[in-house]
Amino acid sequence: MSAIVAIVGRPNSGKSTLFNRMRSRTGSRRLSAITEEMPGVTRDRNYGDAVWEDHRFVVIDTGGFYLEGEGDIGRQVEEKALFAIDEADLIIHLLDAREGLNPSDRELADMIRKSGKKALWVANKIDIHAHATKALEFFGVGVEEILPVSAVNGYGFDDLMERVITSLKEVCGEDFSSDTPDPETSGIPRIAVVGKPNVGKSTLVNAFLGKNRHIVSPIAGTTRDSVDSVCTYYGRKYLFIDTAGIRKKVERYSIERFSVVRAMKSIEKADVAIIVIDSTLGITEQDQKIAGIIQEYGKSAIFMFNKWDLMQEPELDYKRLSADLPRKIWFLGHAPILTASGLSKKRITRIFPMIDDVMAERKKKIPTPELNKFLSATLAKKPFPLYKGREVKFFYVAQTGVEPPAFTLFVNYQPAVREQHLRFLEKALRAAYSFSGAPIRISVKARRNVLK
């Protein structure tokens, strides 16, 4: 599982800008932080993947650190920064070179040292090498090295990232970002059970396993970490990952801790994610966000409406929820749906054939000749529009990956194929070949581009 790097520091020191720069190297747009020239804009932790020279880790952007006594919001944000220190493998203490040394910097540096965690002290907003002397006053926090950077223009960024990777290797080992599977569970479908707190995830996993493997409580947030359990059903093995609940921003951050990050890491190592939704509450904004994380990670999905035993009118409720799902979570409209009750164990065994089906669809490979017959037939039904007065030619399509299924289109004018066209082709692919529960990735390459 990926290591965790937390960026902490005073408000407006540039933490979100550095976070976004680290995230931009991954090629993903997910979960970028909001930046603005107003101290304290980032109230919550933002988190996401970062990749540097094939090493992957999770980076956390925390709210600004205040001295004690700067109001309730300040104390809440400070608490979250302290949780970042507690949970992270490496701390980046970001210092504001324009504002200079501040008592808050000294206090936070003392807290980091007391934690015993590996840390890098970084002076931000140093735009050129000539301004690097501005970092000298930060030796006053009592450290031996200050790294000068500019999160805005990238000065010193490469050197910082090299130090990050070296430090993570020291703390977590040389293979800290390795995805090498456990030999004991290699080849077994890995199932992440995800959802908001208190939707019944642990109860469901206990029901799958047939024993009380996990602590179950009506108090939201009981599961603090991810727990792996192997289940055998009719001779087939499944590895279930019961994740900490993903919750909204709440006042009591001490209960929340880093459950979102840990759930992300569980999703990352899974093949299939079961999105558990509380049937009595319906589909919420948090359910949409969880589904978005699963889609971004390229994992297959199954929707499970739990607590179905509490529904008063099951048939009407099913029609309502199944109609609501493609409207609110349209990007996972291909995922199958199961209604169940972890408490009464009603219909829970139906999940196993669903997992088998979704895993098979995830690994499905379509021969290239068959795909090109499909492409010709699809385009014949809906001719492609001209691009700058020129005909757009589709030379061929090939499946270039599985888990999840990936396809590459070869055309003459790559810019002509836009997002709406890819959605149309994905819909046609699903109509022809299903790929139930699995995301589909479609890329476009120009084989010959004569139009400049």
pLDDT value of position 241: 79
Residue 211 has pLDDT above 60, yes or no: no
pLDDT value of position 254: 36
Residue 74: which pLDDT band, with cuts at 50, 70 and 90? very low
- 1 or 340, greater pLDDT: 340
Beta strands in 62-141 (DSSP E): 90-96, 118-124
Per DSSP, the three-state class of 211 is coil
Amino acid at 84: A
Largest CA distance in the chain: 72
Q: Which of 77-81, 231-235, 273-277 has the highest mean pLDDT?
A: 273-277
Residue 31: which pLDDT band, with cuts at 50, 70 and 90? very low
Residue 76 has pLDDT above 60, yes or no: no
Torsion of CA 6, 12, 18, 24, to 10 degrees: 110
Summarised one tens digit per residue, pLDDT across range 170-208 is 998 877 765 555 545 567 899 999 888 888 888 888 888
> Can you tell me the distance from the alpha carbon of 86 to that of 84, in angstroms, rounded to the nearest whole number?
5
Residue 10: which pLDDT band, with cuts at 50, 70 and 90? confident
Summarised one tens digit per residue, pLDDT across range 237-253 is 888 876 544 444 433 33
> Can you tell me the distance from the alpha carbon of 451 to that of 16, in angstroms, rounded to the nearest whole number?
40
User: Residue 348 contacts by C-beta under 8 Å, 6 or more apart in sequence?
Assistant: 204, 207, 208, 340, 341, 342
Q: How far, in Å, are 19, 172, 257 from residue 223 at the CA level?
A: 28, 24, 11
Report the percentage of the chain scoring pLDDT > 70: 77
- 440 or 178, greater pLDDT: 440
Average pLDDT of span 341-354: 92
Q: In 3D, which of 375, 435, 433 has the Cα closest to residue 403? A: 435
CATH 3.30.300.20 holds for 368-446: yes
> Can you tell me the distance from the alpha carbon of 1 to that of 241, in angstroms, rounded to the nearest whole number?
13
Q: In 3D, which of 299, 306, 192 has the Cα closest to residue 242? A: 192
Residue 81: which pLDDT band, with cuts at 50, 70 and 90? low
Query: Where in the chain do CATH 3.40.50.300 domains reside?
Result: 3-172, 190-362
- Among 48-52, 250-254, 349-353, 423-427, the least confident range: 250-254
Query: Where in the chain do CATH 3.30.300.20 domains reside?
Result: 368-446
Residue 220: which pLDDT band, with cuts at 50, 70 and 90? very low
Report DSSP letters for 100-122, one per residue: ---HHHHHHHHHHHHHT-EEEEE
How many C-beta atoms surround the C-beta of residue 62 within 10 A?
29
> Can you tell me the distance from the alpha carbon of 58 to that of 23, in angstroms, rounded to the nearest whole number?
9
Summarised one tens digit per residue, pLDDT across range 135-170 is 888 898 888 899 999 999 999 999 999 999 999 999
Residue 422: which pLDDT band, with cuts at 50, 70 and 90? very high
Domain boundaries 3-172, corresponding CATH code: 3.40.50.300
| Fold classification of 190-362 (topology level) | Rossmann fold (3.40.50)
> Can you tell me the distance from the alpha carbon of 111 to that of 102, in angstroms, rounded to the nearest whole number?
15
**pTM assigned to the model:** 0.65
Q: In 3D, which of 337, 284, 274 has the Cα closest to residue 308? A: 337
- Among 38-47, 126-135, 202-211, 297-306, the least confident range: 38-47
Q: How far, in Å, are 26, 53, 108, 287, 327 from residue 305 at the CA level?
A: 34, 41, 44, 11, 16
Summarised one tens digit per residue, pLDDT across range 365-386 is 999 999 999 999 999 888 888 8
Reported residue count of the chain is: 452
Average pLDDT of span 48-52: 82
Q: In 3D, which of 243, 233, 228 has the Cα closest to residue 208? A: 233
Q: In 3D, which of 374, 384, 370, 366 has the Cα closest to residue 438? A: 366
